[in-house]
Chain A
Amino acid sequence: MKHGRYPFILSFLALPVGLYAWLVILPFAQAFQISLTDWSGSSNSFEYIGFDNYVNLFKDERLVLPALRHTGIILVVLPVVTIALGLFFAFMLNLGGRVRRGRIEGVRGARFHKVVYFFPQVLSVAIIGILWKQVYAPENFGGLITGALTAVGLPAPVNGFLADKRLVLAAVIAVLVWSAVGFYLVFFSSAMASIPRDLYEAAVIDGAGRVPMFFKITLPLLWDSVQTAWIYLSIVALDVFVLIYMMTPERGGPDAASEVVGGVIWKYAFNHGEQAFASALGVVLFFAALSLAVVSLRFGRRERIEF
């Protein structure tokens, strides 16, 4: 009874596809339409001005170009550092301990560590922002790190980390890493658990140390997980708006030193009354995210090892 199949399938698909089209595809399409206009966002009149917004985007030295630079930096640093730390901790927790009766174990208290590392994941981003804002505060306003640095006689930025143009971006990235690493630790841990122990035990018998074991066995077998983590973290990196909004002076300051693309879109849309310009930047971000996903999936593809 082939003829009844398609309507049957379609009846299931219609609702989700319809919702997806209405709530996801349509707004994207509309953003593209709006980006070709001079719409301010607070009227219903606008004119089509072609690609002027896109041309002007790349002339905006005040917000857009710094934001693209900073998002670019985060895009590189966040996945590299988070994955490196995640892999390292996961490896130590699973295989970093002593060899006992021919079996490799994790470091002492591995289960406890796992839970502790996972804690930040439980907090909402807003809380993380407020928490770290205080941690980074100037010393005489209760800053934890500045206070600790001074206590041991090291130089600390007098106005705190977030008011210093040179440090603010690094400070925000550190928070991102701190809040993400726990999740990837657990993620990589469970992936490592599926690697057969005999591979390691054979390596131990052959006299391999921890470092060659990691690079010759663990990393190649975890490649798929690393790739997934990379894409997830890249998506996070493209949108650090909330932390910037919560933590930094003037939501991207001081003096544009921590502007990111998401924050600049928001600023243009709601502070400047230039929705069309904001939409153009949104379209650029959309294509950047899309090509990022495609590229990392294409070039990250490797031969799969069966085990």
Chain B
Amino acid sequence: MRNTSADKHPMFNRRNLFGATAAGLAASSLAACATSGSDGDDQEVTVGEDAENPFGVDPKAPLDVVIFDGGFGNEYAVAHQAIYNRAFPDAKIEHTATQAIAETQQPRFAEGKPADVLDNSGAQQIPMDALVSDGELAELTPLLEAPSYDDPNVTVLDTLREGVLNAGTFNGKVYALNYVFNAWTIWYDAKLFRDKGWTPPTTWDEMLALCPKIQAAGVAPWTYAGQHPVYLYDMFLMLAGRHGGVQVLKDIDNLKDGAWGHESVALAAEAMHGLGAAGYLLDGSAGIDHIQSQTAFNNNEAAFLPCGSWLPNEQKAIAPEGFEYAPMGVPPLEGSVQPGLISAGGDEPFVVPKNATNLAGAYEYLRIMLSQEGSQIFGDTVQATTVVKGVALDNEAAKMTDALVSNPDDMFQPQFRYWYTKMNEEVRPALGQLINAETTPEEFIARMQTVADETAADDTIEKFTHDE
């Protein structure tokens, strides 16, 4: 930019200025582009001989941990990090606790600089199907094959409860460690039932027979978090799966042709529809959130509430005196072939990004989480079970849940909601409409079969299947 030329011909006429800006734009867009991050060299972590440090963690390497700061808080993670620092005092741990997982962590994946350990949970989780099909996650095989923290002769895999890896398994490969053990059940107040002389129903028909009696006592039979119909998902699917056997649900997950047309699915849809049609829902249920529905349940305004195992602990501080949270499986329909089927297993997925800077440290951190000490810390701080065997909780609801999930063959977590975001977005509103009798069971089934067929036909969506 010489001054002399500017003297004679004004250099910055409008056209030149535009050209210069455009050139600058082009240059900076190459440099600053959100999509221009680069993949680091793929590292491999193998399991070594040293049982103290099987992954060969660099003791000085910093570790970046992101925790979903939801119902479980993040205190337990701070305690886990203290254990990590006990073994590696020089490692600096970056601890982030947030609820906005997708908003804060997705850009880091795009940049190629993700966290080392990510608790990808909550309403703002990054869709697992996207992460897996983009190849952004590290397989957890080294972790599972490594010696456990407490006993070098037992692998990490053998310390886990049965069936808890299913939820994090995509086409046979484990990409997520679901840390919390959870069962979806129907909850009732055992004390209320005792006082009123109601027997907890063991079949759907018994439940329907009980409903008028419940109503006569001035209590609504059912409520749920209408603003989040996802609470109905496992209730509905278990109703169908109990009737027709677990294969019905596997077929749905595997996008088998006509899976939604199965007789058991139709019966389950009819049963759900019947609750709303008969007026068995607490007035206003469709318009309330989970806090309001749980409060109504605590106040004995409704007798049954579908929810996960975390309910009693979540309500601990606000539960009314004498309230006895008791879980049961959804009462099975007449003629159910697998009445013990229950949606239980791992929840709260922890993942290790493939491009994590400290991959070995990430595996080690998960190994610590799965140690007896690590999982006892979690159990003590949040009163919930982890997926590790042998960590007992001293509360009645946890024992009752344990009794419901005693048979591993009856444990199954329906997956299509996690595998296919599009189907997740469809099943939630559809169930909400169904239980409020705003659509017919036939419309509901047609709607779900359509989205399943569309998903199956869409080549851009990576498909997952259950092992047979």
* Residue interface mask B1-18, A partner, CB < 8 A = 1: 000001100111000000
CB < 8 Å neighbour of A271 from B34, B127, B227, B288: B127
Residues of B within 8 A of A254 (CB): 286, 429, 432-433
Inter-subunit contact B35/A46 (CB<8 Å): yes
Known A-B contacts A21-B25, A253-B429; the reply to A38 vs B126 at CB < 8 A is no
Residues of A within 8 A of B421 (CB): 271-273
Which residues of B101-137 have CB atoms within 8 Å of chain A's CB atoms?
A: 102-103, 106, 109-112, 124, 126-127, 129-131, 133-136
CB < 8 Å neighbour of B432 from A38, A41, A255: A255
Query: How far does the Cβ of B175 sit from chain A's closest Cβ, in whole Å?
Result: 13
- Is residue A194 contacting chain B, with contact meaning CB distance below 8 A? no
Which residues of B90-110 have CB atoms within 8 Å of chain A's CB atoms?
A: 102-103, 106, 109-110
- Is residue B460 contacting chain A, with contact meaning CB distance below 8 A? yes
- Is residue A158 contacting chain B, with contact meaning CB distance below 8 A? yes
Inter-subunit contact A158/B129 (CB<8 Å): no
Which residues of B129-149 have CB atoms within 8 Å of chain A's CB atoms?
A: 129-131, 133-136
Which residues of B397-452 have CB atoms within 8 Å of chain A's CB atoms?
A: 421-422, 425-426, 428-430, 432-433, 436, 438
- Is residue B36 contacting chain A, with contact meaning CB distance below 8 A? yes
Which residues of A217-239 have CB atoms within 8 Å of chain B's CB atoms?
A: none
CB < 8 Å neighbour of B425 from A21, A139, A159, A272: A272
Known A-B contacts A3-B6, A159-B284, A249-B227; the reply to A271 vs B425 at CB < 8 A is yes
Inter-subunit contact B109/A159 (CB<8 Å): no
- Is residue A240 contacting chain B, with contact meaning CB distance below 8 A? no
Residues of A within 8 A of B287 (CB): 137-138, 141, 159-160, 162-163, 249
A256 to B422, CA, bound (A): 14
Known A-B contacts A21-B24, A30-B34, A273-B421; the reply to A139 vs B131 at CB < 8 A is no
CB < 8 Å neighbour of A41 from B10, B130, B133, B296: B130
A29 to B32, CA, bound (A): 12
Query: How far does the Cβ of A11 sit from chain B's closest Cβ, in whole Å?
Result: 11
Inter-subunit contact B284/A44 (CB<8 Å): no
- Is residue B228 contacting chain A, with contact meaning CB distance below 8 A? yes
Inter-subunit contact A159/B285 (CB<8 Å): yes
Inter-subunit contact B126/A273 (CB<8 Å): yes
Query: How far does the Cβ of A114 sit from chain B's closest Cβ, in whole Å?
Result: 35
- Name B26's closest neighbour in chain A (CB-CB): A29
Inter-subunit contact B283/A42 (CB<8 Å): no
- Is residue A280 contacting chain B, with contact meaning CB distance below 8 A? no
Residues of B within 8 A of A148 (CB): none
Residues of B within 8 A of A159 (CB): 226, 283-287, 436
Known A-B contacts A21-B21, A30-B29, A158-B284; the reply to A44 vs B102 at CB < 8 A is no
Residues of B within 8 A of A124 (CB): none
Query: How far does the Cβ of A125 sit from chain B's closest Cβ, in whole Å?
Result: 18
Residues of B within 8 A of A30 (CB): 29, 33-35
Known A-B contacts A3-B7, A39-B35; the reply to A141 vs B136 at CB < 8 A is no
Known A-B contacts A21-B21, A270-B103; the reply to A139 vs B28 at CB < 8 A is no
- Is residue B39 contacting chain A, with contact meaning CB distance below 8 A? yes
Query: How far does the Cβ of B23 sit from chain A's closest Cβ, in whole Å?
Result: 11
Residues of A within 8 A of B153 (CB): none
- Is residue A12 contacting chain B, with contact meaning CB distance below 8 A? no
Query: How far does the Cβ of B128 sit from chain A's closest Cβ, in whole Å?
Result: 9
Inter-subunit contact B110/A42 (CB<8 Å): yes
- Is residue B37 contacting chain A, with contact meaning CB distance below 8 A? yes
Query: How far does the Cβ of B40 sit from chain A's closest Cβ, in whole Å?
Result: 10
Residues of B within 8 A of A7 (CB): 6
Inter-subunit contact B6/A43 (CB<8 Å): no
Residues of A within 8 A of B438 (CB): 165
- Is residue A10 contacting chain B, with contact meaning CB distance below 8 A? yes
- Name B129's closest neighbour in chain A (CB-CB): A273
Known A-B contacts A6-B11, A17-B21, A62-B425; the reply to A44 vs B433 at CB < 8 A is no
A245 to B304, CA, bound (A): 29
Inter-subunit contact B134/A42 (CB<8 Å): yes
- Name B111's closest neighbour in chain A (CB-CB): A44
Known A-B contacts A44-B37, A272-B425; the reply to A140 vs B127 at CB < 8 A is no
Inter-subunit contact B433/A139 (CB<8 Å): no
Inter-subunit contact A158/B428 (CB<8 Å): no
Residues of B within 8 A of A46 (CB): 35
- Is residue B54 contacting chain A, with contact meaning CB distance below 8 A? no
Inter-subunit contact A45/B228 (CB<8 Å): no
Query: How far does the Cβ of A118 sit from chain B's closest Cβ, in whole Å?
Result: 31
- Is residue A192 contacting chain B, with contact meaning CB distance below 8 A? no
Query: How far does the Cβ of A305 sit from chain B's closest Cβ, in whole Å?
Result: 35
A141 to B421, CA, bound (A): 32
- Name A270's closest neighbour in chain B (CB-CB): B102
- Name B125's closest neighbour in chain A (CB-CB): A271
* Residue interface mask B269-287, A partner, CB < 8 A = 1: 0000000000000111111
A256 to B429, CA, bound (A): 8
CB < 8 Å neighbour of A250 from B12, B229, B285: B229
Which residues of A93-139 have CB atoms within 8 Å of chain B's CB atoms?
A: 137-139
Query: How far does the Cβ of A201 sit from chain B's closest Cβ, in whole Å?
Result: 51
- Name A158's closest neighbour in chain B (CB-CB): B283
Residues of A within 8 A of B285 (CB): 159
Which residues of A16-43 have CB atoms within 8 Å of chain B's CB atoms?
A: 17-18, 21-22, 25-26, 29-30, 33-34, 37-43
- Is residue B292 contacting chain A, with contact meaning CB distance below 8 A? yes
Residues of B within 8 A of A139 (CB): 283-284
Inter-subunit contact A38/B288 (CB<8 Å): no
* Residue interface mask A256-287, B partner, CB < 8 A = 1: 10000000000100111110000000000000
Which residues of A161-218 have CB atoms within 8 Å of chain B's CB atoms?
A: 162-163, 165
Residues of A within 8 A of B6 (CB): 3, 6-7
- Name A248's closest neighbour in chain B (CB-CB): B227
Sorted nearest first, the 9 A-B pairs with minimum C-beta distance are A138-B284, A273-B130, A163-B287, A160-B287, A43-B134, A249-B227, A159-B286, A255-B429, A159-B287
Query: Chain B: residues with CB nearer than 8 A to chain A?
Result: 6-7, 10-12, 21, 24-25, 28-29, 32-39, 102-103, 106, 109-112, 124, 126-127, 129-131, 133-136, 226-229, 282-288, 292, 296, 301, 421-422, 425-426, 428-430, 432-433, 436, 438, 460
